Amino acid sequence: MPSQNVSVSTPPGAAVSRPAGTATPPHRTWTPVAALSFGIAMVLMGEFLPASVLPALAADVGVSEGRAGLAVAATAIAGAFTAPSIAVLLPRTDRRTVLVALLAIAALSNVAVALAPSFAVLLVGRLLLGVALAGYWSFAFGAGTHAVPGKDRLVSSALAFGTSIATVVGIPLASVVGDAVGWRATFGGTAVLTAVAAVAVAMALPSVPPHPGAGLRMLRAALRNGRLMAGIACVVLVALGNFAAYPYIRIAIEDVDPAATTWLLLTWGIGGLVGTLLAGFLARWLRPLAAVAPVALSASLVLAAFATSVPVLAVAMVLWGLSISMMPVITQLWVTRVEPERAESAMSLQVTAFQVAITVGAALGGALLDGHGVQSLLLVGAGAAVAAGIGWAVLRVPRT
């Protein structure tokens, strides 16, 4: 990962700013960032678990596979409302306290899903996870840059690395565990690990006081930034492109070769790990990177749509994982550069954009799957992704 300093690391309007007169600790430790990364890995693993066990989950609760994809959409719906509102509702609460509480909620949500007797109860658990996920994403970046000031690219890459580890190890492992002992066991195990993450964050993260300007006024000011909102629209497009397809990735693989499911999911995750590291290294060229990554995502989805052999599908999986894993790093840095004075609100809008897109994308993908098959949702996703790339290509971003 790169180690360049970035000038947006402690913007005066963001939660990452230290109170006046507080000195930077003489001995910097990355333990808080590692704990935050572990936490984001757990909440995101919980979000995407349905994609690994979708056929068994759908059969167990008595719904179609397309409708079961709403288990992802339900999480995103709750997240879309939570991300912009949590800082408004808790403007003065220590961010460490909030982050620990959100991880506890995520653990509880996975317990609810693991024990759910019906699809309706399962959706309630997934809504709880959406609250936890959106709030955690909104505050984790600021908390990380508070703990290690001046290292925005490294903090963003570390959080994205946690996501990649979850996909490289967690999602394929969940598929294996789900096939061996049942999909409910995967959610139960994730609940335990998420509770461990809550303890780790509570112990490792220092107090993170909110910025005095946090709240509704900061959010309103961020919403008036036209360039920021244009970039947020691109976030919606690229996330929509991915999540119209991702909840149904296992079905796309099984259409080619069911026996290759686990290792093709692993190749997707390996691509994601490489993409995270690559995004951190290339972040100094943020504008071209933001344009190229969605186009690469589009190409991967087109390739997956027309793949008829495992080798071709493997290439598509690697490129898919690589390109989409770049987007958290790209978008976090993009919004905090465009709106450095109100970084916390900018981050909340970025999270909201992802969650709205996940909601719409999962619902759209499910409808396309049930009505037209998996190829149609892959091609629709590709179109949305390439539109995002074009949008970012024409938007300027401040230099650092």
Q: Convert the pLDDT of each residue in 232-248 to its tens digit.
A: 899 999 999 998 888 77
CA–CA separation, 138 and 234 (whole Å): 18
Could you write out the DSSP letters of every residue in 116-151? -SSHHHHHHHHHHHHHHHHHHHHHHHHHHHHHSTT-
Report pLDDT digits (tens) over 317-331: 999 999 988 888 888
Task: Choose between 382 and 177: higher pLDDT.
Answer: 382
In a 3-state reduction of DSSP, which class is residue 395?
coil
Q: CB–CB of 398/276 below 8 Å?
A: no
- Which pLDDT tens digit goes with each residue over 263-284? 888 888 888 888 888 887 787 8
> Which is more confidently placed, 262 or 309?
309
Q: Which domains does the chain have, with CATH numbers?
A: 31-394 (1.20.1250.20)
Mean pLDDT of all residues in the chain? 81
Per-residue model confidence (pLDDT) at position 214: 58
pLDDT on residue 314: 93
Segment 34-50, tens digit of pLDDT: 999 999 999 988 877 88
Q: Which of 61-70, 131-140, 236-245, 249-258 has the lowest mean pLDDT?
A: 61-70
How many other β-carbons are positioned within 10 Å of the β-carbon of residue 199? 13
Instruction: Tell whether the model's pLDDT for residue 113 goes beyond 50.
Output: yes
Share of the chain above pLDDT 70, in %: 88
Residue 108, SS3 per DSSP: helix
Counts for the chain of helices (H) and strands (E), in that order: 16, 0
Q: How far is CA 129 from CA 46, 69, 117, 328, 345, in A?
A: 8, 15, 18, 19, 21
Whether the per-residue pLDDT at 213 is higher than 60: the answer is: no
pLDDT at 4: 35
Of the pLDDT bands very low, low, confident and very high (cuts 50, 70, 90), residue 7 is very low
Beta strands in 261-359 (DSSP E): none
Q: How confident is the model at residue 212 (pLDDT cuts 50, 70, 90)?
A: low
Q: Which residue has the higher pLDDT, 217 or 129?
A: 129
Note the pLDDT of residue 13.
36
Nearest to 239 by CA among 124, 364, 136: 364
C-alpha distances (whole Å) from 179 to each of 60, 115, 136, 184 are: 13, 18, 30, 11
